[in-house]
Amino acid sequence: MPKQIETEWATIGKVVALFGIRGELKVLLLTDIPNRFAGLGAVYAGPDHIRRLIQSVRPYKGEMIVLKLEGIDDANTAESLRDQNLAIPVSELAQLPPDSYYQHDILGLMVITLDGQKLGSIVDIIVTGSNDVYVIKVPNGSQVLIPAIKDVIKQVDLIRRTMYIDPLPGLLDNVAEETREEEEESVEPGE
C-alpha cells in the first residue's frame, strides 16, 4: 500500500465565536495578510483538516473577519467549529519578500552566535508592536529572548535549520554567567 503524502499546514485563522444564527463565524486572523481569506476558495478546518469551501468573507472588528463556509447554515453546525484552527497547505502560502520568514520556518532553528557559540533552539515567537522576539531554550533549560532585528539576526539558513546572530552587548550576559558557574561546579577542588 503506498504511503499517503503528508501535507504541511499553515494556520491562518481561528474560529472564536458564532456570528448570528445563519452559520457565520467570527475568525481571528493569524496572518499578516489582511485580505488572505478573500483570495482563497477553501480553508481546512480542525485537526483533521476538513476542506470547507468559502462562500463569503467580510472584515469585522480589529483582527477579525466574518466567514461563511459552505454547508454551515445554522448556529448548531457553526458551534461545532468553535475554537477550530483554519489552515491552508504550506504550498498555498503567499510568497514573502527577501529576508522575511513565516513563523513555522523560524520555530526549531538552532541559534548560533557569529563566534560559534551554540545557544539552543527557538521554541516560541513573541509578537510585539515593533518587532518579534525569539524565545530560545538553552541547554540548561532556561530561556533567552532575542529581538528579531537586523542588528542581531545576521543570517537565517533554512536548509541547515540554523540562525546566526550577533548579540547586542549585554544580551547574553546571563547565559555566559550560567555557563561559567556550571563549568566551575564540574571542576573538582584541588585540580
Three-state SS letters, 53-101: EEEEEEECCCCEEEEEECCCCCHHHHHCCCCCEEEEEHHHCCCCCCCCC
Specify the DSSP class assigned to residue 130: S
pTM of the model: 0.60
Same-fold call for 9-91 versus 103-180: no
Superfamily of the domain at 9-91: RimM (2.40.30.60)
Q: What is the pLDDT of residue 176?
A: 57
Which residues are CB-neighbours of 96 under 8 A, at least 6 positions away? 102
Domain ranges of the chain: 9-91, 103-180
What's 103-180's CATH class? mainly beta
Specify the DSSP class assigned to residue 9: E
Per-residue tens of pLDDT for the chain, all 191 residues: 444 456 788 888 999 999 999 999 999 988 777 688 888 899 999 989 999 999 999 989 888 999 999 999 999 999 999 999 999 988 887 777 777 787 878 889 999 999 999 999 999 988 887 888 999 998 888 899 999 999 999 999 988 999 999 988 888 877 755 554 554 455 455 55
